[in-house]
Every structure is written in structure tokens, then in C-alpha cells.
């Protein structure tokens, strides 16, 4: 009997020394993944107590208090020390801090070292994606991201998780894809529980990560307002279409949005209040004032910070994103939540798929028809 042999695959070289900039929940989780994969990891934290707890007790007491971290993971509070000798860098900071942190990283990083910017969002006023913001501060470095349906705690605990690693491909990468930055980063982070996929569509991956947070707030609002699964499924599906249209307008691929960094991340974020975006929406939908959400604590919610920048960018490129526009109108106080969603549901009837080109006035006249059930939209 002849045993069928698996085809030989070319070897891929991982990066060995990794600097992770940002010791929040996701930064700590990615640092733990890299350390578990056998890499030498230095995790930069601005908080001395966080660094001490990681080094002494192997736990991030502030962000992942119930997760045991690898003994080999080293936390530092000095940026230069974190970047010293690093083969690759992972930046995991709030989207609003990407520019300032990238400028600090630029002082110490060695020329040509690749950087994965794992923040999700669009910069206000400029309309730049997070890797584009970092590029302006860092200059000539391979820039990409790691994105997917990944709650930090579950990832750090070793639950099976998958994510996309996206970097642009050079002509040489096309000839030897196993030597591409994306492939090497994917190898670097691969463990028994953390499975990576390689992408060359950085725009598509980043748009998925930015827009899904806004759609998650929409889903949370509707859940908090008392609506059920039909509504959430519709918002997820049509929200993914908004992601596709924006990605395509910016040079990304619709196909990418159906993958882990788009549909996968969107489904996860819109399905659990573990997501701060979904949680904020639920609280607002229940009538909680924004200042009182999260018990009054100043919790950063990326979808809230990026809703306006998402629709501003969409308008620049001539793309309609009605769900994101509705969320922004509610968050900025320009619309009352229930009325805004009534208006969303009674927009002109359109075709699916878009290629049919059909659109006509919705026969439902909300303004002229009294609504007795306050949940009706």
C-alpha cells in the first residue's frame, strides 16, 4: 500500500524578539501568545504597577486579573528597553493614541523592523487608517495588523482563536510568499490555540476592524431597547455590506470583509456584552445616560470614538453607510434613539444585490402613522 505523502512546504522564519507596545487587555493577550509560541517578548507598560505584577506574579492585575501569563513574558516601563534588539513590533494602544505612541516608537526602533498596528479605527479630520497614521510617524517600516474575532481574555486563556495577519505584499513577496512579512508574523504568533491566516489586503482588514465597532453599538442599542434576534441579524448583515462598500471604495476587497477580520469580528462583537461597544449600545438602548454607563467609569469605547470619523470618510469617498450614520446621530445627540432607528427602517426600499439598481420610496409613512407599540420600528 502506498501512503500518500503531504506536499513539501517551504520553511518560514519567525521573528524571535518581539516588542509589544501597550499592556492593556489585548496587548497583554498578544504578548502572552507570542511568549507561548516561544518568542522572547518584552511588553511595554506605562503603568509601573502593571509591569510589576506581570514580572512578579505573572498576571496583569488591572486588565486580565484572572489569567496566568507565561513566566517568560517580561514587562518594562522604558520604551527604549522594550524596543532594544526587537525583530518585530506589535503596537496595541487606543486608536486616538496611535500617532503619539508611533512618534515615541520612532525614536528607538531600528530601521526596517516590521510593525503590526493592532488598533482599530479611523483618525478624525485626516480620515487615515491606523497603519497610515503610524506610517506618517515611523517612516520606512513594513506596516500591517493582526485582526479577527478575538476577545482578549479568551485568547490569553488559550481558547482556540483565529486571526488574520495582514501586510501589503511586495513583488518579491509574490515570488516567495513564505518569506513575506505577513507570513513571518503569522508564524511568529502561531500556537496550538492561536491560529493565524495571511492576508495582503491591509485596507480591507483595517476597515473591517474599524466599522464593526460602530455596528456593534447599533446592535447593542437595539438589544437594550427590547428588540430581538431578527433585528440584530439584519443589522449584522447590512452592517457587513456597509463595511464591504467602504473597503472597496478605498481599494480593499469585498472578499476580505467576509473573512475573520470582517464577518468574524463583526459577529463576535455584535453578539456579546463582553464587547465594550455592544455593552455601551445596550446601556444606551435601556435609557442609561452616557455619563452613567459602565457605572460612571471612563471606559474607552472605540466605536464611539470612531463613529464620526467612519461616516466622514464614507462621505469623502461617496459611500452611503446608513447604520453608521444612525449610530453617530444618536451618540452625538442629533437624534433620539428610537426615532433614529424608525427612520433607518423606513428608508427607501433597495435591491440586494446592488447590481439590480432598484430603489423606490418606502410605502410606510412613519411620521403620518401613529405608533402604539413603542418597540415598533
Residue count of the chain: 377
CA distance 117 to 352: 34
- Exposure string over 279-306, b if 16+ CB within 10 A, otherwise e: bbbbbbbeeeeeeebeeeeeeebbbbbb
Phi, psi of 353 (to 5 degrees): -85, 165
120 annotated active-site: no
Cis omega before residue 306 (within 30°)?
A: no
The candidate with the shortest Cα–Cα distance to 276, out of 302, 306, 308, 310, is 302
Strand ranges for the chain from DSSP E: 17-21, 40-44, 74-76, 88-91, 115-117, 143-147, 161-166, 194-199, 349-350, 359-360
Catalytic residue among 40, 212, 244, 297: 212
Kindly give, in sequence order, each residue whose CB lies less than 8 Å from that of residue 368, ignoring residues fewer than 6 positions away: none
What sign does the CA torsion over 73, 74, 79, 85 have? negative
Q: Which residues are annotated as catalytic?
A: 212
Amino acid at each position: 500500500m502506498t501512503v500518500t505523502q503531504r506536499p513539501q512546504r517551504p520553511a518560514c522564519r519567525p521573528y524571535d524578539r518581539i516588542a509589544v507596545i501597550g499592556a492593556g487587555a489585548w496587548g497583554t493577550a498578544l504578548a502572552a501568545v507570542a511568549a507561548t509560541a516561544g518568542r522572547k517578548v518584552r511588553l511595554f507598560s506605562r503603568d509601573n504597577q502593571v509591569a510589576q505584577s506581570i514580572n512578579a506574579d505573572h498576571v496583569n492585575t488591572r486588565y486580565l486579573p484572572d489569567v496566568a501569563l507565561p513566566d517568560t513574558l517580561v514587562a518594562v516601563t522604558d520604551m527604549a528597553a522594550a524596543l532594544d534588539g526587537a525583530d518585530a513590533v506589535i503596537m496595541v494602544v487606543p486608536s486616538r493614541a496611535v500617532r503619539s505612541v508611533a512618534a515615541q516608537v520612532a525614536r528607538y526602533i531600528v530601521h526596517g523592523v516590521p510593525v503590526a498596528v493592532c488598533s482599530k479605527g479611523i483618525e478624525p479630520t485626516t480620515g487615515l487608517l491606523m497603519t497610515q497614521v503610524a506610517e506618517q510617524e515611523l517612516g520606512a517600516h513594513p506596516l500591517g495588523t493582526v485582526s479577527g474575532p478575538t476577545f482578549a481574555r479568551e485568547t490569553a486563556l488559550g481558547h482556540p482563536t483565529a486571526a488574520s495577519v495582514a501586510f501589503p505584499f511586495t513583488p518579491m513577496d509574490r515570488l516567495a510568499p513564505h518569506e513575506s512579512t505577513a507570513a513571518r508574523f503569522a508564524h511568529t504568533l502561531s500556537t496550538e490555540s492561536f491560529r493565524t491566516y495571511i492576508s495582503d489586503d491591509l485596507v480591507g482588514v483595517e476597515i473591517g476592524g474599524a466599522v464593526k465597532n460602530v455596528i456593534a453599538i447599533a446592535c447593542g442599542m437595539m438589544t437594550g431597547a427590547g428588540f430581538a434576534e431578527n433585528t440584530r441579524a439584519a443589522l449584522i448583515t447590512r452592517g457587513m455590506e456597509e463595511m464591504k462598500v467602504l473597503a472597496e471604495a478605498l481599494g480593499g476587497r469585498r472578499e476580505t470583509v467576509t473573512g475573520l477580520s470582517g464577518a468574524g469580528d463583526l459577529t463576535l462583537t455584535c453578539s456579546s456584552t463582553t464587547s465594550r461597544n455592544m455593552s455601551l449600545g445596550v446601556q444606551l438602548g435601556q435609557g442609561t445616560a452616557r455619563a452613567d454607563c459602565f457605572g460612571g467609569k471612563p471606559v474607552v469605547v472605540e466605536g464611539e470614538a470612531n463613529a464620526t470619523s467612519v461616516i466622514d470618510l464614507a462621505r469623502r469617498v461617496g459611500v452611503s453607510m446608513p447604520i453608521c450614520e444612525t449610530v453617530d446621530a444618536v451618540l452625538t445627540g442629533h437624534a433620539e434613539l428610537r426615532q433614529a432607528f424608525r427612520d433607518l427602517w423606513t428608508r427607501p426600499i433597495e435591491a440586494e444585490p446592488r447590481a439590480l439598481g432598484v430603489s423606490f420610496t418606502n410605502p410606510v409613512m412613519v411620521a403620518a402613522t401613529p405608533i402604539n407599540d413603542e418597540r415598533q420600528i
